[in-house]
Structure 1
Amino acid sequence: MDYIYSLVLFAVVSSATPGPNNILVMTSGLNFGIKKSLPVLCGICIGFSFMLLLVGFGFGQVFELFPSMHTIIKISGILYLLYLAWLISSSSGGLSSKEQSQPLTFLNGALFQWINTKAWVVATGAIAAFTVSGSEFTTQTLILASTFLIVSFPCVGIWLYFGSWLKKHLNNHVHRRWFNFSMSGLLVLSVLPVIRELLKPFV
């Protein structure tokens, strides 16, 4: 039982703490409400659990054989996060915003995991910490992915609810615009450590 308690605690902390996923969901909740943001929430939660399975079943070994592929994904992730930051900051904060007239989809949320640096750190860390090689590896990987699938919905969902709550209280156009600027800034800050890591060999 200690294994399960530790795993659940790790999943809760990893899913509930600030990161690109939660910032994305909260901003969507503010700008589009809960109902229209449910697809991207489901995409994030299901997409990350699927990512865990693939990493656990050896997909991570591909990056060990071809490290340049991992670098390409990191660079793509940085560019996409910066694009999202621009999209959020350029939004007027209203539902009729021409810059972001539609909320992100299920597929957007699922694919976002593969360029989300925090998702990679959590996935590889979880596999390393909560699985052992041998006959139980497959079972443990399935338990790990299932646990994150169950835990992530309420943990990430809290951020969606908070964004929707802010929507009711940030009726002022200027206040909502400043919120979007703040979330955009947090997304940019979230990629700075990865940018520094990529630039280390050249400094």
Structure 2
Amino acid sequence: MIEFIIAVIFLLITPGPGVLTTAGIGAAFGYRAGFSFVGGLMLGGFINMMIVISGVAALVLAVPSLRTVLLVASVAYLLYLAWRIASAGAKVGFAPAQTPLGFKNGLMLQFINPKAYVVSTTLFSGFIFLPESPFVEVVLKLIVFNCIWLPVHLAWLAFGAKIGSLNLSQNRQRAINIGMALALLVVVGIALWTSF
């Protein structure tokens, strides 16, 4: 169980589409504005885990044409998010928008987030600690995962809000945006590299 907890922490604190978008929303719109998006991410993440645990993801990904369509959709959306962050100019966060991304956006992101599938597959197919009771193990893993997941995402939201509230120079704000966008592009590159 300790190894599982350590793996969850390290897999969640590394930048991926969910945490980078959460931080971007915090920076652009403030801490409270990100709650709806985080709620959508959490529900989407739970559904994502159920898809992986049930084996549906393995069945879907076994169809080459469907796998390609999902990969293209994922990459396109992640590139769009990277562009929105990079093009925000001298304001940390997203390119000018009237409202932050909300619950629906968080929910949908988890279905095309390649990191979410990798994390779910890694955590639920590995780190076996109750081989005699797989159902109880899955339930415990879900509880532990979410007890770590929520504070990590709220911390990224707070980090983004803090960065957004600082009186940083335009060059520093632009550099932060470009750094966040580049981190997202790394995730896209890893997704493409691991899919071939």
TM-score range normalised by the length of the shorter chain: 0.7 to 0.9
Q: In the alignment, is residue 58 of structure 1 matched against residue 85 of structure 2?
A: no
Q: For residue 141 of structure 1, what is the aligned residue in structure 2?
A: 138
Residues 146 and 64 of structure 1: is their aligned pair in 2 closer, same or farther, counting only changes over 3 Å? same
Q: For residue 15 of structure 2, what is the aligned residue in structure 1?
A: 18
The 3-state SS of whatever aligns with 2:97 is coil
Number of equivalenced pairs: 195
Residues 61 and 197 of structure 1: is their aligned pair in 2 closer, same or farther, counting only changes over 3 Å? closer
Aligned residues of 1:14 and 1:122 also touching (Cα < 8 A):
yes
Q: In the alignment, is residue 183 of structure 1 matched against residue 176 of structure 2?
A: no
How far apart, CA to CA, are the structure 1 residues paired with 2:61 and 2:166?
Answer: 48
Residues 33 and 114 of structure 1: is their aligned pair in 2 closer, same or farther, counting only changes over 3 Å? same
Cα deviation, residue 123, structure 1 = 0.7
Aligned residues of 2:15 and 2:184 also touching (Cα < 8 A):
no
Residues 26 and 170 of structure 1: is their aligned pair in 2 closer, same or farther, counting only changes over 3 Å? farther
| Higher share in helix | 1
Q: TM-score, normalised by structure 1?
A: 0.83
Task: Note the residue ranges of structure 2 that are not aligned, 5 or more in a row.
Answer: none
1:81 aligned to which of 66, 78, 82: 78
**What CA RMSD, in Å, does the superposition of the two structures yield over aligned residues?**
2.5
How far apart, CA to CA, are the structure 1 residues paired with 2:130 and 2:59?
Answer: 18
Q: More deviation in 14-23 or 117-126?
A: 14-23
Per-residue CA distance 1:11-51 (angstroms, 9 max, x = gap):
22211222222111111111111000111122223321231
Residues 53 and 130 of structure 1: is their aligned pair in 2 closer, same or farther, counting only changes over 3 Å? farther
State the identity as a percent: 25
Task: Note the residue ranges of structure 1 that are not aligned, 5 or more in a row.
Answer: none
Q: For residue 112 of structure 1, what is the aligned residue in structure 2?
A: 109
Q: For residue 71 of structure 1, what is the aligned residue in structure 2?
A: 68
Q: TM-score, normalised by structure 2?
A: 0.86
How far apart, CA to CA, are the structure 1 residues paired with 2:107 and 2:147?
Answer: 16
